[in-house]
Structure 1
Amino acid sequence: MAAINHVMLSDAVANNRFSAEFFDPQYVYKPKNSFLWAPIGRVLKKCEYGISISMNTKGTGFPIFRMNELNNCFALRPEKFAEISQQRFEQYRLKENDVLFNRTNSFEYVGRTGLVKDQTDCTFASYLIRLVPDNSVVLPEYLAVYLNTKFGIGQIKRRAMRSINQANVSGSEVKKILIPLFDTAAQENIAELVNAAYRLSKESEVAYTQAQHLLESELGLDKLRFDKSTGYMARFSVVGLTDNFEAGRIDAQCFSPEAVYYEDWLLKHATCDRLSTLLASTAKGRQQAEAETGIINYCSIKHISDREIVSASKTTPSLGTPNAIKGDLLLAITGATIGKVGIVNRYENLTFSGDMLRLRVNNEISPHYLLLALDHRLGQVQFNRWITGSTNGHLAPRDVGRILVPRLTAAVEQQISTLVAESLKKRQESEQLLAQAKSRVEQLIEEAVQS
């Protein structure tokens, strides 16, 4: 049934908006007079668009934030760089506790907001807006959390200008969003939760980086350097006919210089097992219809984040649908993110989509150590090598079994496994603290809004 809302003409004129979306009942609310609300624009010292410039992945210039590098209240680490002058960089240089707002994206993701912490050597792109609040009125941690709550996201979407596959929330519209001005003690409590969450997320990163470095140092990878050839020679690898027969492939991708180089290096300098010998079983998932009334958890590639299944939907699976249990790895084998891998750590049992392959280890290897080995560049290059298809790539389960997994002493593998598990644990604890912060803000909002 259609949702209908009666609107006074004066309200439409005051907001300069006459679209039905703006007055959608799910977004409309009435603040209580006993609480102080203000447009965000009144509590900002700065509302600034980023720079419009071409970017590169070569590391030339300064790191620059893009729209997809804001997640769960924080600004992550940029992957691209902008070649700009030092003077221009200083003008747009990020400072600790700046709030970045994604003004242009799909309607689902527009308004993503992240808090800058230690990324002060970075700048930001033009489809992001820098919000700098007056700390005497609104703390930046509170502002970031508020814009990430269900209520805050709703107010962002309310002001979004929609077009085909795109939505935009201008700086002027951001300034019009109302924010409740809670007392200093309440905001400081939220800030403590946010900052503790950030510390845990950094500790999680450190633990995983330590695990990577330990693997690399044990294998000698910290001294390995692969220099890609340039020019004419970059096109060729020299392989024997027997190599073609063994691989069952004669295409250039399978024998790219990088793939051949890493495989040769592993075989000569490391003890390796084929992945197939380390697995108790594999199973390809089944595509399922998601439903809120489903009886079991169901995940797809989109639910993998930072090497873990972090969320799931619900489904009612058909008879014989394979499942994954705690400790299993799920590997993307179809589409644009082939090789993406995540461990089932937060669920005792779930089903998974048809573009994923379940890897259940035997007692010869730890799933956490295997997770790191497959997620590492050594594993990813091998996955890429065995992809078939042009329009929509696919990684066959039999080819997954070919992957070379470097083996270390039991003690070192256990040390790496412990670090990876610690990293996952700290990240989950960080998310729990952020969830507490959001819950507290949402509770305060409920008290400040008329029912």
Structure 2
Amino acid sequence: MAVFSIVQRTSIGSANRIDPDYYQPKYLQLAKRLSQSALKEKGILRRYIHSAINFGAYSLCNYIVFVDSGVPYLYTQDIRDNYIDLDNLHFITPDVDELLYKSQVRDRQVVLTMAGVYLGRASVFDYGIHVNSNQATAKITVREDLLNPYYLSTFLNSLYGSFQIRRNKTGTARDNINLGQIQDLFICLPSRRFQLRIEQAVKLGRQKLFDSKQLFTQAEQLFLSELGLQNWTPTPALAYTRNYSQAARARRVDAEYFQPKYQEMLDRLSSSVRLDRLGKLTTYTKGVEVGSPAYTASGIPFWRISNLTKHGLDDDSVNFISDELYDSLRSSYEPQQGEMLLSKDATPGIAYYLETSIEGIVSSGILRLTITNDIPPHYLELALNSLFVQLQVEQDAGGSIIKHWKPSEVRKTLIPRLSPAKEVEIAGFVQQSHAARRETKTILEKVKRAVEIAIEESEDKAIEFIG
């Protein structure tokens, strides 16, 4: 059924937009609800901020050279809803950081993604470190006597902020929003008391995330300590030789496969550690490819390798398929509770254990492992994500452009076995880590909904909802 709006020319106003997407009925309804909110203070964002800046001249990109360590450099994928992921940062030199002074991030600035698939994510930066950021991020400095930065980031992530960003976006190949459009976003301001309550809740969610990371690190360190690999770094080797018989047995002639570090790692293992093949502990089934023409704007998730992390499935950039296609595939390709998801292509070796079933279909680059032997699932999950297995993946995976880890090699992967008590102890840390991360997501989603309730109903009901 066709969806349309009839808009008078005189109502176009300062937006100066005549494209039909801008006047979708859902956008008009949300804009009306926002303007009629019971919250008394409202207006365009520029009234409540000192500045909104970004990168400066795009030609400055030519000076960016990434280094192994230096000044952290944020990409749009590092900005999440009300937190910043510091786990996979890029780095630039101090000289480049000075050149890109406009994109330096200050404490308590709101960082908002301005372009690409991650358009519209917002978070307050309060991590106490010096960082820089790429050209697709806006840094907003608020007038804190009027506007709390945590409230602003939550508002931007909420229904009433995100719809305005989607509505105002432009671009054909790549969606984007400019600084002027950001400053013209319409915002409702609740009381200082409510804004402070939002800040407290966001910080609680972030603390849970910090706890999650600490618990996972504790599990990793205990695991490596038991293996005798804690603080181990491979001995550099400028040259090494191997016999033809070794190359023939491995069916590999590339020098990278025979780097000494792989055998050095095995030689360092504690004598109390025994090794099992992954094929002895699990069976596997593959996912399926549906092809990009099958993707739909909404529907059932189609989980790709890019959605799989060692902490769970990231649904921020998930693709969808139709209900009909899902129904035809679900019996063979939908992950079930108790299975381990393991990537074998592109970024092979990422594992995540499913404590509950998930809705959706997994791509062919993901294996679904079923545990058939006596091993704590979360211990196996940690082992697969560990340095010990990641170096095996590095050695085995082939492909010059896209890495491929053959299922036959996956089955041969060595899994360290410890005492049952120690495996259970390590698994416990991993379980607690995942639980804390789920709490983070619950809290931050709840905070967004609380802002929406304050706009739609009242501050009191929103505070009651937060608890």
> Quick check: TM above 0.5?
yes
Alignment pair present for 1:243 and 2:227: no
Per the normalisation by structure 2, the TM-score is 0.83
Which consecutive residues of structure 1, in runs of 5 or more, have no partner in the other structure? Answer: none
CA distance change for structure 1 residues 182 and 436 in 2, over 3 Å: closer, same or farther? Answer: same
C-alpha displacement of 1:322? 5.1
Alignment pair present for 1:275 and 2:283: no
C-alpha displacement of 1:370? 1.7
Corresponding position of 1:143: 152
Q: Counterparts in 2 of 1:431-450, with a 5 A limit? A: 431-447=441-457
C-alpha displacement of 1:222? 2.9
Paired with 1:126 and 1:391, the residues of 2 have a C-alpha distance of 27
Matched letter for residue 414 of structure 1 = V
C-alpha displacement of 1:87? 6.3
RMSD: 3.0
C-alpha displacement of 1:17? 2.8
Matched letter for residue 307 of structure 1 = H
C-alpha displacement of 1:361? 2.5
Alignment pair present for 1:286 and 2:288: yes
Corresponding position of 2:123: 114
Matched letter for residue 48 of structure 1 = I
Instruction: Indicate the percent of aligned positions where both proteins have the same amino acid.
Output: 22
Alignment pair present for 1:100 and 2:111: yes
Which of residues 390, 394, 398 in structure 2 aligns to 1:380? 390
C-alpha displacement of 1:200? 0.3
Q: Counterparts in 2 of 1:219-368, with a 5 A limit? A: 219-226=227-234, 228=236, 233=238, 237-255=240-258, 257=259, 260-270=260-270, 271-287=273-289, 299-309=303-313, 315-318=326-329, 321=332, 324-334=335-345, 336-347=346-357, 352-368=362-378
2:205–2:441 CA contact under 8 A, matched in 1:
yes
2:215–2:433 CA contact under 8 A, matched in 1:
yes
| Structure 1 range deviating more: 16-25 or 39-48 | 16-25
Paired with 2:255 and 2:226, the residues of 1 have a C-alpha distance of 31
Q: Counterparts in 2 of 1:113-132, with a 5 A limit? A: 113-132=122-141
Secondary structure in 1 aligned to 2:26? coil
C-alpha displacement of 1:75? 1.4
C-alpha displacement of 1:323? 5.0
Secondary structure in 2 aligned to 1:254? helix
Paired with 1:306 and 1:343, the residues of 2 have a C-alpha distance of 9
Which consecutive residues of structure 2, in runs of 5 or more, have no partner in the other structure? Answer: 459-467
Q: Counterparts in 2 of 1:8-19, with a 5 A limit? A: 8-19=8-19
Matched letter for residue 50 of structure 2 = K
Paired with 2:359 and 2:27, the residues of 1 have a C-alpha distance of 36
C-alpha displacement of 1:369? 1.6
CA distance change for structure 1 residues 248 and 319 in 2, over 3 Å: closer, same or farther? Answer: same
Corresponding position of 2:207: 199
Secondary structure in 2 aligned to 1:64? strand
Paired with 1:378 and 1:440, the residues of 2 have a C-alpha distance of 44
CA distance change for structure 1 residues 366 and 349 in 2, over 3 Å: closer, same or farther? Answer: farther
* CA offsets 1:40-69 (integer angstroms, 9 cap, x no match): 11111221214755141410x311211110
Alignment pair present for 1:37 and 2:45: no
1:310–1:346 CA contact under 8 A, matched in 2:
no
C-alpha displacement of 1:89? 8.3
| Structure 1 range deviating more: 198-207 or 379-388 | 379-388
Q: Counterparts in 2 of 1:53-68, with a 5 A limit? A: 53-59=63-69, 61-68=70-77
* CA offsets 1:69-123 (integer angstroms, 9 cap, x no match): 01132112161112124866887653433211111224xx212222222243322
C-alpha displacement of 1:421? 0.9
| Structure 1 range deviating more: 362-371 or 281-290 | 281-290
C-alpha displacement of 1:374? 1.5
Matched letter for residue 159 of structure 1 = N
Corresponding position of 2:438: 428
- Corresponding pairs, count: 433
Matched letter for residue 27 of structure 2 = Y
Paired with 1:119 and 1:272, the residues of 2 have a C-alpha distance of 43
CA distance change for structure 1 residues 237 and 331 in 2, over 3 Å: closer, same or farther? Answer: farther
| Structure 1 range deviating more: 28-37 or 131-140 | 28-37
Which of residues 397, 406, 430 in structure 1 aligns to 2:416? 406
Paired with 1:92 and 1:21, the residues of 2 have a C-alpha distance of 32
CA distance change for structure 1 residues 112 and 247 in 2, over 3 Å: closer, same or farther? Answer: same
Paired with 2:373 and 2:405, the residues of 1 have a C-alpha distance of 25
Alignment pair present for 1:73 and 2:82: yes
Secondary structure in 1 aligned to 2:27? coil
C-alpha displacement of 1:320? 5.6
CA distance change for structure 1 residues 290 and 64 in 2, over 3 Å: closer, same or farther? Answer: closer
CA distance change for structure 1 residues 103 and 308 in 2, over 3 Å: closer, same or farther? Answer: same
More helix by share: 2
C-alpha displacement of 1:329? 1.3
Alignment pair present for 1:395 and 2:401: no
* CA offsets 1:283-306 (integer angstroms, 9 cap, x no match): 212346778777xx8644343234
CA distance change for structure 1 residues 207 and 50 in 2, over 3 Å: closer, same or farther? Answer: farther
CA distance change for structure 1 residues 182 and 278 in 2, over 3 Å: closer, same or farther? Answer: farther
* CA offsets 1:327-369 (integer angstroms, 9 cap, x no match): 32111123x2222222212427875332211122244322212
| Structure 1 range deviating more: 69-78 or 383-392 | 383-392
Paired with 1:427 and 1:178, the residues of 2 have a C-alpha distance of 32
Matched letter for residue 8 of structure 1 = Q
Paired with 1:440 and 1:199, the residues of 2 have a C-alpha distance of 19
Paired with 2:242 and 2:328, the residues of 1 have a C-alpha distance of 46
CA distance change for structure 1 residues 18 and 91 in 2, over 3 Å: closer, same or farther? Answer: closer
2:53–2:102 CA contact under 8 A, matched in 1:
no
2:55–2:102 CA contact under 8 A, matched in 1:
no
